[in-house]
Amino acid sequence: MPRYKQTVRRQLDTTLSLFAAAKSVQPPVKGWIRAVREALGMSGRQLASRLKVSQPRVHKLEQNEPSGGVTLRTMRQVAEALDCTFVYALVPRSSLEDTIKTQARLVATERLQRVSHSMLLEAQGLSAEEQQDSLEAAINELVRETPTDLWDSKP
């Protein structure tokens, strides 16, 4: 099962990397609906007709979109009416693999600190090199296994 998780994660990372450039795209101040509609030279009345809604409804959509007050379904419908494709994605700040490694490092560090403290009390401390090797091994195991409690620790 862990091998399957890693494969799925890598495939999703590859797919999501196609959206990397989208992270730097800022939506138009007045929203995509209005920007595209105006760029097409389409009036609010014409868009309303295509959507089979009232013109005030289109105005309300254009007002609500910049603040996120429009549903995904509505955005798909508006995109269709504007002969566009609505694109929706969660794009990680770094790769999914790197995100998991960062969390694994946090969890492994917490766990090893508890173990190290117990070992110090028993006068069985590890050298700095042994501690680093142990930390890297724990991180690699957590990344490989991705246990269900991996995300219980908060940064």
Domain at 31, CATH number: 1.10.260
Q: Indicate if the pLDDT at residue 76 is higher than 80.
A: yes
Which of 28, 37, 27 has the alpha carbon at shortest distance from 82? Answer: 37
Residue 127 placed within a domain = yes
Q: Specify the number of domains making up the chain.
A: 2
* 14 and 24 housed in the same domain: no
Mean pLDDT of 58-83: 97
How far, CA to CA in Å, does 132 sit from each of 15, 121, 150? Answer: 34, 20, 20
State pLDDT tens for residues 101-139. 999 999 999 888 877 655 544 455 667 787 788 889 999
The model's pTM is 0.75
How far, CA to CA in Å, does 104 sit from each of 109, 134, 138? Answer: 8, 13, 8
